[in-house]
Amino acid sequence: MPLKSFDVWMCTHNSEKLLPVVLPQISRVIPIINRKFIVDDFSTDNTKAVARSLGWQVFNSKKRGLHNARDYAFSLVETEYCANFEHDIYLAHNWYPTIPNLVQSGKYDVAQGIRVRDIGGFREADLYDYNHRFIPSEDNTFYKMGTNFQNIERYHIEKKVCSRHLRGNISNCLRHDYYIYRELNNAGVFSLFKCLAKSPFLSIKVFKETKGGLVLFAYPMERLLIFNGGLMGKMKRGNQKMVK
């Protein structure tokens, strides 16, 4: 049975620099797109103009926050299936038809490939994580509409499909970790501290498995920024409660 066409969408926020790289790659990889659109989360740069120039429809998110943009994007889908890509994913050439076929065949409700950061040390840490953990990232993901996205039972991660996670440099990687854990993560500070304390030893394990020497520096630094972000986030939320 031939694969059905499907809607493709992306949530964006100040993404003008990456869209000229990632959007054409999506079109090259997927030949049967029904409709492609972005839902923009209140960008202050030229994200929307760049997306339009590359042939994508543009919708404005109704509320701030990427989770709100995501919910709105799902409401705009017109097809039985859809795909979601993050603005910093350079899509693997074998994503199509491998990933859509897993879902359209009826085997899974949601499927994705893996994504590995394009910076030495962080790349090896990502590969180690995927080899030892189940990590749904929802950034190169194919969905069957009508699925209960709060409780997905048939979710598959295909490790043979590996996209590049565009980070650019070490500073961008660490800055992203810090802000994600400051703004979005609710992990306990003590658990983050335990991960930080274990990071030098785990980096040695990752090095032995991947042979990437930079991970000996990158992984402990990443855990330090994650700990700092989580700590600052807890303090921020605590101050907000006091004000209320």
- pLDDT one-digit tens code per residue, 113-154: 999 999 999 999 999 999 999 999 889 999 999 988 778 889
The predicted structure's pLDDT at residue 82: 98
In this structure, the answer to whether residues 143 and 40 fall within a common structural domain is yes
pLDDT at 20: 98
Distance CA 181, CA 187 (A): 8
> What is the structure's pLDDT at 242?
62
pLDDT of the residue at 153: 86
Range of the domain at 28: 6-165
- Examine residue 122 and state whether it is found in any structural domain, yes or no: yes
Pair (174, 234) in one structural domain = yes
pTM for the model stands at 0.90
Please give the distance of CA 170 from its chain centroid, rounded to a whole number. 18
Using alpha carbons only, how large is the chain's radius of gyration in Å?
Answer: 19
Domain end point (choices 139, 165, 191) = 165
Burial of 120 (0-12, 13-18, 19+ CB in 10 A): middle
Question: CA distances (Å), 143 to each of 31, 90, 140, 226, in order?
Answer: 17, 19, 10, 30
Looking at the fold, whether 147 and 211 belong to one and the same domain comes out as no
Q: How far apart are CA 102 and CA 100, in angstroms?
A: 5
pLDDT at position 238 is 72
Of 76, 172, 191, nearest in space to 122 by CA: 172
Domain boundary among 107, 130, 165: 165
Q: Domain check: are 35 and 126 in the same one?
A: yes
- Does 7 score more than 90 pLDDT? yes
Are residues 161 and 190 located together in one domain of the fold? no
- The residue written with tokens 């038809």 in the block is 97
Residue 1's pLDDT band, with cuts at 50, 70 and 90, is low
Measure the CA–CA gap between 238 and 80, rounded to whole angstroms. 43
Alpha-carbon span 207 to 211, nearest angstrom: 5
Listed residue (175, 188, 176, 177) closest to 237, CA to CA: 188
Which of 146, 165, 184 is at the close of a domain? 165
- The total domain count for the chain is 2
Tell whether 204 and 147 lie within a shared domain.
Answer: no
In a domain, residue 66? The reply is yes
For residue range 41-85, list pLDDT tens digits in order. Answer: 999 999 999 999 999 999 999 999 888 999 999 999 999 999 999
